[in-house]
């Protein structure tokens, strides 16, 4: 089930990153990710659920869309070291922890924060992490 429409994404969330022709697929996938994160099935779609899905949709799109869903998310290179033709890069992270993911599928930090604050996040998702 898709929790947000393109109209919501543009007019209420204020999004502009995801083109309309790709939106339905990405929004459905983002809704599925949110369903995986919550502790019980969503029966009432609140504004917080819509907001969490919108953040997740933009993260999936920014990380490669379909590629992100197959675990091949884009990686933003941070520090690069070069020696002749050989180079190595490290992913950029704003702190010491890597971004959240489920089986390689990226999960927006804001999505996690919103669901956790609302008491909707499944404890088993973050039991090992200090959020």
Q: Distance between CA atoms of 48 and 105, rounded to whole angstroms? A: 21
* Whole-number pLDDT of residue 70: 75
Token representation of residue 18: 């995801």
How far lies 105's CA from each of 80, 87, 102, 129, in Å?
Answer: 24, 26, 5, 17
**Which helix (H) or strand (E) segment is 101 a member of?**
strand 101-102
* Whole-number pLDDT of residue 27: 97
DSSP letter assigned to residue 95: S
Token representation of residue 129: 């992490």
* Whole-number pLDDT of residue 102: 78
Regions of the chain with pLDDT less than 50 = 76-79, 87, 92-97, 127, 130-131
CA 49 to chain centre: 13
* Whole-number pLDDT of residue 85: 55
* Whole-number pLDDT of residue 66: 81
Cα atoms found within 13 Å of the Cα of residue 5, Cβ hemisphere only? 4
Percent residues over pLDDT 90 in the chain: 50
Domain ranges (residues) in the chain: 6-126
Q: What predicted TM-score, i.e. pTM, was given to this entire model?
A: 0.77
Q: Distance between CA atoms of 87 and 53, rounded to whole angstroms? A: 37
* Whole-number pLDDT of residue 79: 44
């Amino acid at each position: 089930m898709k929790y947000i429409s393109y109209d919501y994404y543009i007019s209420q969330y204020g999004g502009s990153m995801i083109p309309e022709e790709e939106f339905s697929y990405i929004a459905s996938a983002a809704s599925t990710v949110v369903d995986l994160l919550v502790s019980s099935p969503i029966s009432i779609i609140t504004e917080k659920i819509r907001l969490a899905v919108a953040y997740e949709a933009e993260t999936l799109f920014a990380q490669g869309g379909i590629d992100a869903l197959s675990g091949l998310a884009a990686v933003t290179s941070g520090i690069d070291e070069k020696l002749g033709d050989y180079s190595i890069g490290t992913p950029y992270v704003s702190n010491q922890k890597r971004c959240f993911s489920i089986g390689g599928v990226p999960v927006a930090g804001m999505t996690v924060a919103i669901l956790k604050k609302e008491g909707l996040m499944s404890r088993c998702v973050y039991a090992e992490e200090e959020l």
